[in-house]
């Protein structure tokens, strides 16, 4: 079911989104060689709880942590562990925070020290692909317009578009309808209406688009070992366009 949010609900989703933005900002200076992904997770959980937020991923379908920490060839849902970040890594931090029953969700990829040009290229164009999708968010446009804009941008920059995972609606639940794929056909799919809130989240690879899942039931990696990047925003459809509810505050 697709939900249309009231003014009151939108206000709570703005708060939840800002908590996500603030937590990303808080974590950034800790993302350095030597720290473990588990330590980042602990910092995030404490910070989120100190703001009165709830780390929604923790316990969701048995997921054990606050953050998803996806390093290099891990595309999404990397579980925080004792891996120590090293110079040259890239890491995607993805988190969902609940506030008074409403969710905010955003993922950004970070560099650890100096990274090679391929990784820089991948990150730059994955973020730009997200904004190509965001530009399509306005009443009357369709999910296919977003999907097609992301895919066209990504493929014209020779990046692989992971198809197994999608963006989604969001509200009281972290995953609501509609699905928001990163590939598709213009003019097709659900029509956007004022008051809908969706997450757009391109997951792009520097190599081929194929992925596999580890035995842990979560971690998704590229089959060819190429690095992946992932950027996600929570976005409200407004009267004549959209509002990003998880703006970058750094
Ligand atoms: N942002 C992720 C998503 O949209 C969060 C899911 S992590 C989970 O899929 F562990 F909670 F599933
Ligand atoms: Co999401």
Domain boundaries, the chain: 7-244
Alpha carbon distance 143, 59 (integer Å): 30
List, for residues 115-154, the tens digit of each pLDDT value: 999 999 999 999 999 999 999 999 999 999 999 999 999 9
Contacts of 75-78 with CB under 8 Å at 24 or more apart are: 75/162, 75/165, 75/203, 75/205, 75/211, 75/220, 75/221, 75/222, 75/228, 75/230, 76/107, 76/165, 76/203, 76/220, 76/230, 77/218, 77/219, 77/220, 78/37, 78/218, 78/219
Which pLDDT band holds residue 155 (cuts at 50, 70, 90)?
Answer: very high
Pocket test for ligand 1, best of 66, 67, 68 (most atoms within 8 A of CB): 68
* Spacing, Cα 211 to ligand 2 middle (Å): 18
Q: Which atom of ligand 1 is found nearest the CA of 63? A: 10
Cβ atoms 180, 143 nearer than 8 A: yes
For the chain, how long is the longest CA-to-CA vector?
48
Measured in angstroms, how far is the CA atom of residue 180 from the centroid of ligand 2? 10
State mean pLDDT over 44-73: 98
What is the bridge-based pairing of β-strands 54-55 and 90-99? antiparallel
- Give the position, in ligand 1's atom list, of the atom nearest the Cα of 107: 1
Nearest ligand 1 atom to the CA of 174 is 4
81-88 mean pLDDT: 98
pTM above 0.95, yes or no: yes
Which class does domain 7-244 fall in? alpha beta
Work out the pLDDT band at 250, boundaries 50, 70, 90: confident
DSSP label of 53: -
Neighbours of ion ligand 2 (CB under 5 A): 105, 199
**CA distances for 237 relative to 94, 98, 101, 109, 220, angstroms:** 22, 20, 20, 25, 30
Please name the residue whose Cα sits nearest to atom 7 of ligand 1. 57
How many Å apart are CA 4 and CA 196, to the nearest integer? 5
**Surface-to-core class of residue 145, CB atoms within 10 Å of its CB (0-12 exposed, 13-18 middle, 19+ buried):** buried
- Could you tell me the distance, in angstroms and rounded to a whole number, from the CA of residue 199 to the centre of ligand 2? 6
DSSP code string of 85-117: P-TT-EEEEEEEEEETTEEEEEEEEEE-SS--H
CA of 70 to the centre of ligand 1 (A): 12
Cβ-contact 55, 44 below 8 angstroms: yes
- Distance (angstroms) between ligand 2 centre and the Cα of 202 equals 10
The answer to whether 157 and 106 are in contact (CB under 8 A) is no
Pair 4, 171: CB distance under 8 Å: no
CA pair distance 106, 119, nearest whole angstrom: 20
Q: Which atom of ligand 1 is nearest to the CA of 77?
A: 7
Task: Give the model confidence (pLDDT) of 9-46 as tens digits.
Answer: 999 999 999 999 999 999 999 999 999 999 999 999 99
Residue 241 CA, ligand 2 centroid: distance in Å: 21
Select from 142, 186, 181 the least CA-distant residue to 164: 181
Ligand 1 nearest atom to the CA of residue 165, by list position = 9
Q: Give the binding-site residues of ligand 1, using a 6 Å CB cut-off.
A: 57, 60, 63, 68, 77, 94, 96, 105, 107
């Amino acid at each position: 079911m697709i939900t249309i949010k009231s003014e009151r609900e939108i206000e709570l989703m703005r708060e939840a989104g800002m908590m996500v933005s603030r937590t990303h900002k808080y974590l950034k200076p800790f993302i350095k060689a030597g720290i473990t992904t588990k330590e980042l997770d602990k910092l995030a959980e404490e910070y989120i709880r100190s703001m009165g937020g709830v780390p929604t991923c923790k316990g969701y379908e048995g997921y054990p942590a606050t953050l998803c920490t996806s390093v290099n060839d891990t595309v999404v849902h990397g579980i925080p562990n004792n891996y120590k970040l090293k110079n040259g890594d890239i890491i995607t931090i993805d988190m969902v925070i609940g506030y008074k029953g409403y969710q905010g969700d955003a993922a950004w990829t970070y560099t650890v020290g100096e990274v090679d040009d391929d990784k820089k290229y991948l990150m730059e164009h994955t973020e730009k692909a997200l904004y190509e999708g965001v530009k399509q968010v306005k009443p009357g446009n369709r999910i296919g317009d977003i999907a097609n804009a992301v895919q066209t941008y990504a493929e014209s920059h020779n990046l692989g578009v992971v198809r197994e995972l999608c963006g989604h609606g969001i509200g009281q639940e972290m995953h609501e309808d509609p699905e928001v794929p990163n590939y598709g056909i213009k003019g097709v799919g659900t029509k956007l209406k004022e008051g809908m809130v969706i997450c757009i989240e391109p997951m792009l690879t520097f190599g081929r688009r194929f992925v596999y899942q580890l035995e842990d039931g979560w971690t998704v990696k590229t089959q060819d070992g190429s690095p992946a990047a992932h950027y996600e925003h929570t976005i409200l459809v407004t009267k004549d366009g959209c509002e990003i509810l998880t703006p970058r505050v750094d």
